Amino acid sequence: MMHATRARTLLAAVGLAAALLAAGCDTAQQVPWASYDSALQPRIDAATATRDCAALRGYLAAANATSTAHEKATGFRNDALVAYIQASQHEAGCPSAGG
């Protein structure tokens, strides 16, 4: 029989996982994909699926480095793309940049 504390912890973990999945979907919908190379999202998604943290770090660095230029060209920064890549890193189990 499962203890009440363990059951609550398990339910909290399941709830957190569901929230992260939902947030990931929301993040993807917020990225203006039409303003990027059409292969970018599939590349990020493939790197996430294969847990290629080095590739995800590269995509994140590029998104940060080109944000101002992207804003000049399109009218908006890469903030949504950066958030999408960060969510992808989390999903892939990559270590956080700060830790």
Q: Tokens in use for 14?
A: 């399941």
Enclosing domain of residue 62 = 4-92
Q: Is residue 64 part of a domain?
A: yes
Question: What are the angstrom distances between the C-alpha of 88 and each of 13, 68, 81?
Answer: 19, 22, 10
Q: Is residue 55 part of a domain?
A: yes
Domain count along the chain: 1
- pLDDT per residue as tens digits for the range 10-50: 554 444 444 444 444 566 789 999 999 999 999 999 999 99
What band does 76 get if pLDDT is binned at 50, 70 and 90? confident
Higher pLDDT, 93 or 96: 93
- Distance of alpha carbon 43 from its chain centroid, rounded? 13
What band does 99 get if pLDDT is binned at 50, 70 and 90? very low
- How far apart are the C-alpha atoms of 64 and 25, rounded to whole Å? 21
